[in-house]
Amino acid sequence: MVISPNWALYKEDDLVKAMTVKQKILNEHFWEKIDYILFFTTPIYEVIRMADIDKPCLHLVYEWWEAMIEMVKAAIYMNECKALLEKNSFFDAVYCILLEQWAKSSTQFHCLAHSLNPRYYSSD
């Protein structure tokens, strides 16, 4: 759309804004950042999708949460070429956001459902 000759004629809002959007969309670094964002947010999206089913899954939320945090951490650290034991301010910020959301949505009912899962009490 932005490579169309008609894009330059776009003046409904602001020509400068239209040209800025065009430059951003055609910038390779912009798409690299988008790929990175999608890479580390995919595990978050997948947990949301797994929980949005018509089957009982409340007892699995804690496991999904832990796995999701590890996948997000691995994605961020891999992109920044850091060892998992190193300090990473970006991961710390993302983790704080995720933790705040967890605190808002995690209830005692979630904890009870997780702790009553029979697989923790039996080898079967």
Residue 3 located in a structural domain: no
Burial of 40 (0-12, 13-18, 19+ CB in 10 A): buried
For residue 115, give its domain range.
Answer: 13-120
Residue 57 located in a structural domain: yes
Residue 8 located in a structural domain: no
Residues 49-98: pLDDT tens digits?
A: 988 888 777 777 778 888 999 999 999 999 988 898 889 999 999 999 99
Tell me, what's the pLDDT at 11?
59
Tell me, what's the pLDDT at 95?
94
Residue 91 located in a structural domain: yes
How far is it between the farthest Cα atoms of the chain? 69
Residue 46 located in a structural domain: yes
Residue 4 located in a structural domain: no
Query: For the chain, how many structural domains are there in total?
Result: 1
Residue 76 located in a structural domain: yes
Residue 1 located in a structural domain: no
